[in-house]
Structure 1
Amino acid sequence: MTNHVHCLSAPSYRLVPGPHYGRVETLYQGSWGTASVDGFGKEEADVLCRSLGYTGGIGSFHSADMYGVGSGEIWLSGLSCTGNENSLEECPPKIWGGHTSATHASDAAVFCYGSTSSLLSHGWYGRVMQYVGTTLNSICDTSFDDNEAN
């Protein structure tokens, strides 16, 4: 039996295909869009990855090269993080909202590292997974309930 957990509030950022690497997508005005590689460097990758439960990240490359072309609006461009923020919301963006002069060929992507020992298979919901060494395994336990999920 595999247990599932569903968190009540979804994060405003995700990595596609994820969970620890991929194109950076952000939820803005009720729809998912991408972040431009413009202004998305090591500091921004570190902040994003820490907010997703990792210890740091590597970023600032074009996602289309590895993860395909994004779709929807390009919501975020020109961030200016110091690297000490807790989330990207704390970093002042140069442009927030529909960014019409960029294309999805220049969507930002990151690789997060140093994960916490456990995570959910689909980011904020799904199977509970845990690293044992470098291998990611599902946690199976008939007594897993809301107490463990919290």
Structure 2
Amino acid sequence: MTVLGYCFLQGIASLILCVSVGAQEAPQLHLAEGGHRCMGRVEILYQGSWATICDDSWSMSEAHVVCRQIDCGAAVSATLVGYFGSRPESIHLNNPDCTGKETHVWRCPSWSWYQHNCTRWPAAGVFCSGIVCN
């Protein structure tokens, strides 16, 4: 194969990779029902719909990841049992097991998307400091 043929095939492979990755919607994160962008129920936009995280095993480790991810500083509190309201019909993640160092809450080990065993009013929430420290 000539160098030109190799470069052409490499370019096609790169284009296919870019198109397939670009076609998938990246998850987004925000806090709802808190009255401020740095406190509220944690919601994730995934495949076109907003949903919450089940609060089973929700802790400060997960709250730190969320607060840092949305540029709201450090977590002050991790809330449970629908403190900021609940959406039991709509859950994207269950039992994220963060160390607190992850860049995105969906990168923490957890069950697969949409799978959960929540038995009460699930709605993980956070109070963040609202101050970004570099």
* Range class of TM-score, shorter chain: 0.5 to 0.7
| Preserved CA contact (<8 Å) 1:34 1:72 | no
| Preserved CA contact (<8 Å) 1:49 1:112 | yes
Could you list the runs of 5+ residues in structure 1 that have no partner in the other structure? 1-9, 118-150
Could you list the runs of 5+ residues in structure 2 that have no partner in the other structure? 1-25
Distance 1:88 1:69 in 2: 19
Larger Rg: 2
Question: Structure 1 residue 90: deviation in Å?
Answer: 2.1
- Please report the TM-score for the alignment, with normalisation by the length of structure 2: 0.67
Partner of 1:70: 87
Q: What secondary structure does 2:65 align onto? A: helix
Mapping for residues 59-98 of structure 1, pairs under 5 Å:
59-63=78-82, 66-70=83-87, 72-98=89-115
Question: Structure 1 residue 70: deviation in Å?
Answer: 2.1
Match of 1:12 among 14, 17, 28: 28
- Please report the TM-score for the alignment, with normalisation by the length of structure 1: 0.61
Question: Structure 1 residue 50: deviation in Å?
Answer: 0.2
| Preserved CA contact (<8 Å) 1:23 1:70 | no
Distance 1:27 1:90 in 2: 15
Distance 1:91 1:110 in 2: 17
Question: Structure 1 residue 81: deviation in Å?
Answer: 0.7
CA deviations over 1:58-78 (Å, ceiling 9, x no partner): 214222xx3222264211111
Distance 1:11 1:116 in 2: 22
Mapping for residues 1-150 of structure 1, pairs under 5 Å:
12-17=28-33, 18-57=36-75, 58-63=77-82, 66-70=83-87, 72-99=89-116, 101-102=117-118, 105-116=121-132
Runs of 4+ in 1 over 4 A off after TM superposition: none
Partner of 1:147: none
| Preserved CA contact (<8 Å) 2:64 2:74 | yes
Distance 2:54 2:79 in 1: 9
Distance 1:82 1:71 in 2: 26
Query: How many residues are treated as equivalent by the alignment?
Result: 106
CA deviations over 1:18-51 (Å, ceiling 9, x no partner): 4111111111111011100012211100001001
**Greater strand percent: which structure?**
1
